[in-house]
């Protein structure tokens, strides 16, 4: 009885905090237009990439370096269809194309594990990049494309909506039997297969769902870039960023990657603008120190702090 | 366990304090002109920034401040200039974001361009959207003309003037056939495509035309193929990594052509001439071009640059950017205000005298009075070899063979 | 025709030698020490820049620099492992967590090393000319410096292979690679061995950097490009296997050379097509277990 009231109280607090954050985020453009919206859009983009990366890689333990491929597919969708279709449709198509690509890749990579899976996904990014580059240069005779732009507030709201849908999806997956099955794959794939879980199908679907959101994010972000070429769209750095942000934040809880991506992006922007000639040095040191002292990411730290505080509270009562 | 939690929270608190603490505010009375620039200080483009263009902006700011600043009538005094530089990490998304930060949050008075064709392409619409003048620096392409952005000014010369000049030179010296290779990007495709019709119109046969992907590590098969076709001239539309690799491999393999032309790379005295040696690069042609003989102002600029940085400036854009900034400064002084619109209108119409001579923009806001189109290394000087009165030396043809070690 | 075939094959082998050289060190670092060292290319860059400085400022022959670069970079690698990764290995919850965490740490190192290099040498592209003359093989012509690189790559690979196979320390490293747990039981100081292993990986990268700087221009940001090549080669060849790295390197080199001859625009596409096809056919690399 005591426990249930405690959890329901905690749940209410969490919902209230969530609601306040949502309202705050939704109204930001009203009272703080200008650069805040631009910065928040970019933070949201990284959050979307990181959270969707965690949907697949978090529970299964497969480190995917394919985000840049799916993001880039979204970017190109935006460049190719942006002038003929309304933006929300383009975003949906961008997501769907990425989804299908991920289904195909997922079906192909069944046998690969560990580093071999990691490198396959990375090779995929480079393969698509170089193929699109060759295609554009030799077949269509161009290498760059202009993307129709929309105003910053629209980009922000689209990213926010995508984030909202993603968060809901991630939450539902975690609570569902699907999520549990993914967890068991991560713990022991062979054992999971023996208990009758269709390992292949589940992995592929999770991979495709995460790819959908990456593609959508790419389609939205492209409108901010105005001009793209294959090397910009399929920038390999975008494959590494979600991984780093997720590890930095910690993958145990849903809020881990969100906090990780937010702090990472903000910190980087801050250092770049204050210390343009030393920012990599400072950023690098922070990364090494953080990983040395926070092996479970920020989530681990928060949980430990929380535990200490609550222990102290109980000690006094 | 305990000390880890402590150390971890210490790091977090330190970072947080740091973030809040350094966030300074600067919105006092107008005592300086603040100019923002998001440019690659790290990542793959940083090398290009360092050899071509990046230093010119720094030097111009120092030069202006040495003279007390720019006189702005509206404030009744000379205002010194402050250059705020952010690192775009050679990433276009970061660049557009930082450019908007400069404009919207830092509220800088003016912006300077990023480095690289694609970057400029992305930056121009952003600056234009907020009514900020953007004077194109290193990079740019003809394609930008299609966007017709009223606040965007283009300074460099492109394939539309360089390709015909090269074809004329080839015809003059008697080149019969050429091989063209080009980098698979905006720059490469533009030049690779543009050269063909001009060559053909002058009866020069294009025997080979191939693209190569950026990042390729071996260009020797292309050199060997061109050699086996027996072409007179070898033309490459490439960026510094490819240009250096190509030259290095041609030397190592002892493959010689009567003419050897690379768009981007030979113009750099430090990177190109000094790495290979001035006897080795004798006769190599490149995009550009100008040198100390171009004008008295050019000579003065070279001397100043050498005194400041201990090396010569690049002989393609160096003088162009420098002169465009002098033009810009005079436009501000004439406008007597920092209002973008007024300055823009003056820039678009007025002709001012600069280091390279009279400087003005045409109706598309393209700078047209180029000091030269094609250069050639001759005895350590990047001579302008265009036909006509811009020529500072006649073309050297055939190019001497790479010296044997 | 025969000259053309010779041309293409030898060019492929020369490229392959460079790729193998770049990859061997990483194969050791990941195959044994389980550190997915994304800063591997930064060690190559360090080797290249030290060589460049010695050559342009003191006139020291790059082949002599091998003796200087190798140990210098080895010490850097060894110290870094002791300072960062030993600790990380014990604090990480699982081997999988260690892989993720060490990758993040390596990214930090990449940033730090690259920034320091830019501060020391500037961001400019640099280079020097060394052994830049043609060598003729039955009509096929090649650069002397690339041939020297290939020879040195083979020698370095062979020496290291023998070291792992024959010496006590080498056997310790191999034991650690197979089973870190029992290696500790049979009297191997596992932390020391892993640190040495990481150091040797760095050493190979440093030597690779020296040799690469003879044929390629260098800049502080060049590292990641070589790291990517190295990753592909070791995955192709099989982790932790020195002959595997050479086989992987030569395959990539030959494919690149053949495709460049036919359609240069597709050279890089071909690398990844081969990589992906081979991986699908043999999911643990050619010589992997």
Give how far the C-alpha of residue B24 lies from the chain's centroid of Cα atoms, to the nearest Å: 34
Mean pLDDT comparison of A4-18, C155-169, C173-187, highest-scoring range: C155-169
Alpha carbon distances (Å) from C122 to C60, C119, C126, C129, C183: 21, 6, 10, 20, 44
Which residues in chain A (27-66) have CB-CB distances under 8 A to chain B? 34-35, 38-39, 42
Where does the pLDDT of residue C207 fall: very low under 50, low under 70, confident under 90, or very high at 90 and above? Answer: very high
Say how far apart CA B38 and CA B193 lie, in whole Å.
31
Alpha-carbon gap: A29 to the closest alpha carbon of chain B (Å): 14
Residue C257 located in a structural domain: yes
- C179 in reach of chain B (CB within 8 A): no
* Residue A305 CB-density burial (10 A; 0-12 exposed, 13-18 middle, 19+ buried): middle
DSSP bridge pairs for B152: B134
Where does the pLDDT of residue A148 fall: very low under 50, low under 70, confident under 90, or very high at 90 and above? Answer: confident
- The owner of tokens 């699982």 is C94
Listed in sequence order, the DSSP H helices in A176-296 are 177-187, 189-194, 199-225, 230-233, 237-249, 255-274, 279-293
Residue B236, pLDDT score: 96
Say how far apart CA B328 and CA B313 lie, in whole Å.
20
Where does the pLDDT of residue C116 fall: very low under 50, low under 70, confident under 90, or very high at 90 and above? Answer: very high
Render pLDDT for B195-248 as a digit per residue (tens, 0 to 9). Answer: 999 999 999 999 999 999 888 888 998 999 999 999 999 999 998 889 999 999
Residue C272 located in a structural domain: yes
Where does the pLDDT of residue B272 fall: very low under 50, low under 70, confident under 90, or very high at 90 and above? Answer: very high
Nearest to C220 by CA among B48, B137, A164, A317: B48
Nearest to B38 by CA among B139, B112, B116, B129: B112
Render pLDDT for B304-358 as a digit per residue (tens, 0 to 9). Answer: 999 999 999 999 989 999 999 999 999 999 999 999 999 999 999 999 999 999 9
Say how far apart CA A56 and CA A49 lie, in whole Å.
12
Residue A54, pLDDT score: 93
Residue C116 located in a structural domain: yes
Chains within contact range of chain A (3+ C-beta pairs < 8 Å): B, C
Residue C289 located in a structural domain: no
CB environment B323-348: b (16+ within 10 A), e (fewer): bbbbbbbbbbbebbebebeebbebbb
pLDDT at C196 over 70: yes
Chains within contact range of chain B (3+ C-beta pairs < 8 Å): A, C
Nearest CA in chain C to A138: C265
First to last CA, chain C: 40
Contact C143 B253 (CB under 8 A): yes
Which residues in chain A (137-156) have CB-CB distances under 8 A to chain C? 137-138
Alpha-carbon gap: B46 to the closest alpha carbon of chain C (Å): 6
CATH of the domain at C51: 1.10.3470
Nearest to A241 by CA among A287, A285, A282: A287
Nearest to B51 by CA among C55, C126, C45, C111: C126
Q: Where are the domains of chain A?
A: 35-279
Residue B2, pLDDT score: 45
Nearest CA in chain C to B255: C134
Nearest CA in chain B to C127: B275
Q: What are phi and psi of C145, to 5 degrees?
A: -65, -30
Residue C286 located in a structural domain: no
Cβ atoms of C279 and C235 closer than 8 Å: yes
Option in B7, B122, B184 nearest A143 (CB): B184
Say how far apart CA C38 and CA C114 lie, in whole Å.
12
* Residue B28 CB-density burial (10 A; 0-12 exposed, 13-18 middle, 19+ buried): exposed
State both tokens at A192.
Answer: 């999971």
- A108 in reach of chain C (CB within 8 A): yes
Which residues of B are less than 8 Å from A144 in CB distance? 118, 121, 143, 185-186
Option in C228, C275, C279 nearest A112 (CB): C279
Residue B5, pLDDT score: 47
Residue B303, pLDDT score: 94
Render pLDDT for C127-179 as a digit per residue (tens, 0 to 9). Answer: 888 888 888 877 788 888 899 999 999 999 999 889 888 888 888 888 777 77
Which residues of C are less than 8 Å from A115 in CB distance? 30, 36, 235, 239
Q: What would the mean pLDDT of B250-273 be, rounded to a whole number? A: 93
Which residues of C are less than 8 Å from B217 in CB distance? 15, 18, 216, 256
Instruction: Name which of B17, B50, B106, B118 to mutate to probe chain A: the one with the most chain A Cβ atoms within 10 A of its Cβ.
Output: B118
Which residues of A are less than 8 Å from B7 in CB distance? 293
Residue C23, pLDDT score: 92
DSSP track, C17-34: HHHHHHHHHHHHHHHTT-
Residues spanned by the domain of C80: 2-281
Say how far apart CA C42 and CA C225 lie, in whole Å.
10
Which residues in chain B (100-139) have CB-CB distances under 8 A to chain A? 100-101, 104-105, 118, 121-122, 125-126, 129
Q: Give the distance between the most distant pair of CA atoms in chain B.
A: 81
Domains in chain B, ordered, with CATH?
A: 33-154+296-305+316-359 (3.40.50.2300), 159-289+372-384 (3.40.50.2300)
Mapping DSSP to helix (H, G, I), strand (E, B) and coil, where does residue C167 land?
coil
Angle at C235 between CA A128 and CA A124, to 5 degrees: 10
Instruction: Name which of B221, B251, B278 to mutate to probe chain C: the one with the most chain C Cβ atoms within 10 A of its Cβ.
Output: B221
Note the ipTM here.
0.86
Say how far apart CA C180 and CA C178 lie, in whole Å.
7
């Amino acid at each position: 009885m005591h426990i249930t009231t405690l959890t329901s109280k905690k749940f209410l607090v969490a919902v209230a905090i969530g609601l306040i954050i949502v309202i705050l985020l939704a109204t930001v453009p009203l009272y703080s237009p200008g650069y805040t919206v631009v910065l928040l859009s970019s933070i949201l983009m990284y959050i979307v990439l990181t959270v969707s990366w965690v949907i697949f890689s978090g529970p299964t333990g497969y480190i995917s370096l394919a985000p840049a491929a799916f993001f880039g597919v979204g970017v190109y969708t935006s460049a190719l269809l942006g002038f003929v279709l309304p933006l929300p449709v383009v975003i949906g198509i961008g997501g769907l194309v990425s989804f299908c690509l991920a289904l195909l890749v997922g079906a192909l990579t069944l046998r690969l594990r560990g580093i071999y899976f990691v490198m396959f996904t990375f090779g995929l990014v480079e393969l698509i990049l170089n193929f699109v580059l060759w295609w554009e240069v030799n077949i269509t005779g161009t290498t760059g494309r202009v993307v129709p732009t929309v105003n910053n507030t629209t980009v922000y709201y689209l990213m926010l909506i995508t984030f909202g849908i993603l968060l809901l999806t991630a939450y539902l997956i975690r609570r569902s039997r699907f999520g549990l099955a993914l967890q068991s794959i991560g713990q022991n794939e062979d054992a999971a297969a023996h208990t009758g879980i269709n390992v292949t199908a589940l992995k592929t679907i999770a991979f495709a769902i995460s790819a959908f959101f990456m593609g959508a994010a790419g389609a939205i972000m492209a409108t901010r870039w105005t001009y793209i070429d294959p090397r910009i769209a399929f920038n390999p750095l975008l494959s590494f960023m979600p991984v780093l942000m997720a590890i930095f934040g910690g993958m145990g809880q849903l809020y881990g990657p969100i906090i990780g991506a937010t702090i990472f992006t903000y910190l980087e922007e801050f250092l770049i603008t204050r210390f343009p000639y030393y920012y990599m040095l400072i950023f690098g040191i922070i990364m090494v120190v953080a990983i040395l002292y926070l092996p479970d990411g920020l989530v681990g730290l928060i949980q430990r702090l929380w535990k200490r505080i609550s222990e102290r509270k109980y000690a006094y009562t | 366990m305990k000390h880890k939690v402590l150390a971890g929270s210490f790091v977090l608190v330190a970072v947080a304090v740091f973030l809040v603490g350094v966030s300074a505010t600067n919105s006092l009375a107008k005592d300086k002109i603040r100019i923002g620039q998001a440019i690659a200080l790290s990542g793959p483009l940083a090398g290009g920034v360092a050899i071509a263009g990046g230093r010119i902006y720094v030097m111009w700011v120092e030069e202006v401040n040495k003279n007390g600043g720019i006189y702005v009538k509206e404030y009744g005094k000379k205002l010194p200039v402050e250059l705020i530089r952010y690192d775009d990490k050679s990433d276009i998304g970061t660049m557009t974001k930082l450019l908007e930060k400069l404009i919207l949050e830092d509220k800088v008075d003016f912006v300077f361009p990023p480095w690289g064709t694609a970057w400029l392409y992305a930056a121009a619409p952003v600056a234009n959207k907020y009514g900020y003048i953007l004077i194109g620096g290193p990079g740019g392409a003809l394609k930008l003309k299609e966007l017709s952005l009223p606040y965007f000014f283009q300074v460099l010369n492109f394939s539309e003037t360089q390709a015909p000049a090269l074809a004329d030179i080839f015809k003059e010296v008697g080149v019969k056939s050429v091989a063209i290779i080009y980098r698979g990007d905006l720059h490469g495709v533009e030049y690779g495509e543009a050269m063909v019709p001009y060559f053909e119109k002058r009866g020069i046969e294009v025997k080979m035309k191939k693209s190569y992907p950026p990042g390729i590590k071996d260009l020797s098969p292309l050199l060997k193929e061109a050699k086996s076709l027996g072409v007179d001239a070898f033309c490459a539309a490439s960026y510094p990594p490819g240009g250096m690799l190509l030259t290095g491999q041609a030397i190592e393999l002892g493959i010689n052509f009567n003419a050897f032309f690379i768009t981007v790379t030979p113009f750099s005295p430090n990177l190109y001439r000094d790495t290979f040696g001035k006897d080795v690069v004798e006769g190599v042609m490149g995009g550009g071009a100008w040198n100390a003989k171009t004008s008295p102002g050019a000579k003065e600029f070279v001397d100043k640059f050498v005194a400041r940085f201990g090396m010569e400036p690049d002989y393609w854009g160096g003088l162009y950017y420098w002169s465009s900034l002098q033009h810009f400064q005079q436009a501000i002084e004439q406008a007597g205000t920092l209002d973008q619109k007024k300055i823009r209108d003056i820039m678009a119409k007025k002709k001012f005298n600069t280091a390279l001579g009279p400087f003005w923009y045409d109706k598309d806001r393209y700078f047209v009075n180029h000091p030269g189109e094609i250069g050639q290394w001759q005895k350590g000087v990047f001579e302008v070899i265009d036909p006509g009165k811009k020529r500072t030396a006649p073309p050297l043809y055939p190019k001497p063979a790479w010296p044997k070690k | 025709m025969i000259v053309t075939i010779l041309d293409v094959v030898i060019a492929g082998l020369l490229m392959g030698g460079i790729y193998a050289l770049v990859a061997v060190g990483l194969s050791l670092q990941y195959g044994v020490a389980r550190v997915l060292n994304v800063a591997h290319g930064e060690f190559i860059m360090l080797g290249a820049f030290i060589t460049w400085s010695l050559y342009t400022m003191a006139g020291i022959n790059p082949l002599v620099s091998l003796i200087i670069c190798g140990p210098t970079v080895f010490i850097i690698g060894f110290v870094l492992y002791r300072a960062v990764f030993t600790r990380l290995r014990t604090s990480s919850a699982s081997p999988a967590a260690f892989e993720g965490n060490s990758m993040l740490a390596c990214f930090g190192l990449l940033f730090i090393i690259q920034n320091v290099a830019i501060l020391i040498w500037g961001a400019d592209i640099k280079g020097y000319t060394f052994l830049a003359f043609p060598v003729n093989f039955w009509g096929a012509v090649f650069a002397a410096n690339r041939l020297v690189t290939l020879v040195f790559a083979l020698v370095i690979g062979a020496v290291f292979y023998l070291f792992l196979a024959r010496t006590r320390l080498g056997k310790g490293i191999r034991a650690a690679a197979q089973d870190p747990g029992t290696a500790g039981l049979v009297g191997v100081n596992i932390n020391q061995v892993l640190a040495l292993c990481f150091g040797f990986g760095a050493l190979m990268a440093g030597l690779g950097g020296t040799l690469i700087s003879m044929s390629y221009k260098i800049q502080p940001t060049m590292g990641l490009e070589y790291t990517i090549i190295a990753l592909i080669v070791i995955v192709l060849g099989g982790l932790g296997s020195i002959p595997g790295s050479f086989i992987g390197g030569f395959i990539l080199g030959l494919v690149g050379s053949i495709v460049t001859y036919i359609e240069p625009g597709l050279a890089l596409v071909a690398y990844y097509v081969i990589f992906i096809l081979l991986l699908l056919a043999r999911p643990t690399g050619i010589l992997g277990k």
